[in-house]
């Protein structure tokens, strides 16, 4: 898809379709008013007749509107003007796309950027529009025999800005959002692949491909022999039951100053999670191919950073394994020793994500990081607590937590903080080892984060539990690409803050 920005009056756009907003109670947006005036009141007459009320989700397609240069005008209902939220704004754009896909138009001039969203500027609206459009158009057809597209697919969107003074900022917004959308697509594509294709070796190969695409990226694949030498007993324990060898993928994007401490992103990469000896129920187990969404999201984030050529230092660590109940698999009651030297009693082999993450978090120390953020489909308890809207957020550094919460609100890819109090740590006590890998029945998301926190004492750290937001179940099941938008907003905000004049 091609995206660009332009200033100009809607009736002068020589294009396949102009899109304008109508608000609830039949109120026309500024662009709709202009189109109505030049056409001799055609739009206002249709509105008075009730053809469109302006309610959220309504559309009305007009052909060959008099005294305009476009072939079509699409009116989109946006609801109450004062009540347009981030979610509503994205839905408005997706409503537009769904209607246009059947219209025959291929090039679109969108004036939906006029829609007011509280405390959001034109660059935000352009960015959200691009992400919403790309989300609506995304399809996973790699493994289908019929890969055909619509006869006349949408191919270009022009976003309206109010004047030439907004063009430069609009173009930056387009560039940033296209990179983010590309990262989201990579994350979705990897997550939607089945476990027989997307293995740890496959993920490692994709990481190596990033090195070939972007000269600032260096990829290193640490194999099981090297993990053994470095004492990564927790990570290796998970892969024992599988014929697929574990990998620790290390991707270094060092485009900043040499003395700049890097942001380290750690993504859980369990390419298929059967639960191991603590076997999961068979119903819905096909969705356990998504247990590498954390890995996919950090790979997507890093690719977006490289695409934008951000002058920052960012490291991506992906511990990746397959969790299977083979004859060599770890058993409940086994005790393993992590890279940190701490011993762990395995009470449940289905709590494997924290085992591979803890060694990666210890490995992160070598970079003397500015911050470390791990991303994982870690606990079903997070789905119970928060549902499918925000990711769970916990950490040991309040400014980092604050920045991630703000980035989530700004990007629309929200997270919600849960308490990481010492009161919960005793749930991990073990009679036989330094700790157990699970706590009691309650607060499963928190006790999982408590476990990880024991390996993050030497740096500022945050944990995103994306179990509820990384994919959708049901008829429309598939990966969402979250939290690439959140992570990119955090990184862009960090870059902006570092380059503010003092």
CA distance 58 to 50: 11
Is 354 in the active site?
yes
CA distance 466 to 469: 5
Q: Which of 280, 454, 472, 494 is catalytic?
A: 280
Written as six digits, the tokens of 219 are 């990829």
Closest CA relative to residue 439, chosen from 457, 458, 453, 460: 453
CA distance 92 to 167: 23
Largest CA distance in the chain: 83
Q: How many residues does the chain have?
A: 502
Closest CA relative to residue 54, chosen from 18, 30, 90, 28: 28
Task: Give the E-state strand segments of 78-197 in sequence order.
Answer: 107-110, 156-161
Is 377 in contact with 291 (CB distance < 8 Å)? yes
Closest CA relative to residue 454, chosen from 370, 311, 342, 328: 342
Is 331 in the active site?
no
Q: Cα-flanking dihedrals φ and ψ of residue 240, to 5°? A: -60, -35
Q: Which of 185, 354, 410, 482 is catalytic?
A: 354
Counting beta carbons within 10 angstroms of the beta carbon of residue 77, is it exposed (0 to 12), middle (13 to 18) or buried (19 or more)?
buried
Written as six digits, the tokens of 409 are 């609100």
Closest CA relative to residue 335, chosen from 327, 343, 326, 324: 343
> How far is CA 211 from each of CA 179, 227, 314, rounded to the nearest angstrom?
17, 22, 14
Kind and range of the H or E run holding 391: strand 391-395
CA distance 385 to 488: 25
How many helices (H) does the chain have, and how many strands (E)? 14, 21
CA distance 408 to 90: 15
Q: Cα-flanking dihedrals φ and ψ of residue 22, to 5°? A: -125, 130
Helix axes 86-101, 122-137, angle to 10 degrees: 50
> How far is CA 306 from each of CA 141, 241, 250, 275, rounded to the nearest angstrom?
26, 36, 15, 35
Alpha helices (H) in 281-419, listed in sequence order:
293-308, 353-363, 380-386, 398-411
CA distance 136 to 415: 22
Residues 6+ apart with CB under 8 A from 431: none
**Cis before 483 (ω within 30):** yes
Q: Which residues are marked as active site? A: 280, 354
């Amino acid at each position: 898809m091609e995206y660009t920005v332009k200033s100009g009056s809607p009736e002068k756009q020589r294009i396949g379709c102009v899109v304008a907003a109508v608000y609830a109670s039949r109120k026309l947006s500024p662009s709709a008013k202009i189109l109505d005036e030049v056409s001799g009141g055609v739009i206002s007459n249709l509105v008075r007749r009730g053809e469109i009320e302006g309610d959220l989700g309504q559309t009305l397609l007009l052909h060959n509107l008099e005294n305009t240069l476009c072939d079509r005008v699409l009116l989109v209902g946006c609801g109450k003007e004062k009540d347009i939220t981030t979610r509503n704004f994205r839905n408005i754009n997706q409503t537009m796309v769904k209607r246009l896909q059947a219209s025959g138009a291929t090039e679109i001039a969108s004036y939906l950027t006029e829609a007011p969203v509280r405390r959001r500027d034109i660059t935000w609206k352009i960015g959200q529009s691009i992400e919403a459009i790309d989300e609506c158009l995304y399809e996973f057809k790699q493994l289908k025999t019929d890969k055909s597209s619509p006869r006349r697919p949408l191919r270009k969107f022009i976003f309206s800005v109010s004047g030439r003074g907004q063009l430069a900022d609009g173009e930056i917004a387009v560039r940033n959002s296209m990179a983010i959308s590309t990262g989201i697509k990579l994350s979705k594509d990897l997550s939607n692949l089945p476990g027989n294709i997307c293995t740890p070796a496959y993920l490692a190969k994709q990481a190596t491909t990033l090195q070939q695409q972007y000269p600032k990226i260096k990829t290193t694949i640490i194999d099981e022999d090297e993990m053994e030498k470095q004492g990564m007993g927790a990570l290796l324990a998970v892969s024992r039951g599988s014929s697929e060898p574990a990998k620790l993928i290390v991707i270094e994007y060092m485009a900043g100053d040499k003395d700049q401490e890097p942001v380290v992103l750690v993504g859980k990469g369990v390419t298929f999670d059967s639960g191991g000896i603590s076997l999961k129920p068979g119903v819905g187990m096909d969705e356990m191919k998504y247990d590498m969404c954390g890995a996919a999201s950090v790979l997507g984030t890093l690719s977006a950073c490289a695409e934008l050529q951000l002058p920052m230092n960012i490291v991506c660590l992906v511990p990746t394994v397959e969790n299977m109940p083979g004859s060599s698999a770890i058993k409940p009651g086994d005790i393993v020793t992590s890279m940190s030297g701490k011993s762990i009693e395995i009470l449940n082999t289905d709590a494997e994500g924290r085992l591979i993450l803890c060694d990666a978090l210890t490995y992160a120390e070598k970079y003397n990081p500015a911050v470390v953020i791990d991303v994982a489909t870690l606990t079903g308890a997070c789905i119970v607590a928060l549902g499918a809207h925000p990711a769970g957020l916990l950490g040991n550094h309040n400014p980092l937590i604050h920045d991630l919460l703000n980035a989530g609100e700004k990007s629309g890819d929200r997270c919600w903080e849960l308490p990481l109090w010492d009161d919960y740590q005793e749930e991990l006590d073990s009679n036989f080892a330094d700790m157990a890998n699970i706590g009691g029945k309650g607060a499963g998301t928190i006790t999982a984060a408590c476990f990880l926190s024991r390996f993050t004492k030497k740096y500022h750290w945050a944990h995103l539990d994306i179990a509820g937001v990384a994919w959708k179940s049901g008829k429309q099941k598939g990966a969402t690409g979250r939290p690439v938008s959140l992570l990119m907003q955090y990184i862009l905000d960090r870059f902006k803050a570092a380059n503010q004049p003092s």
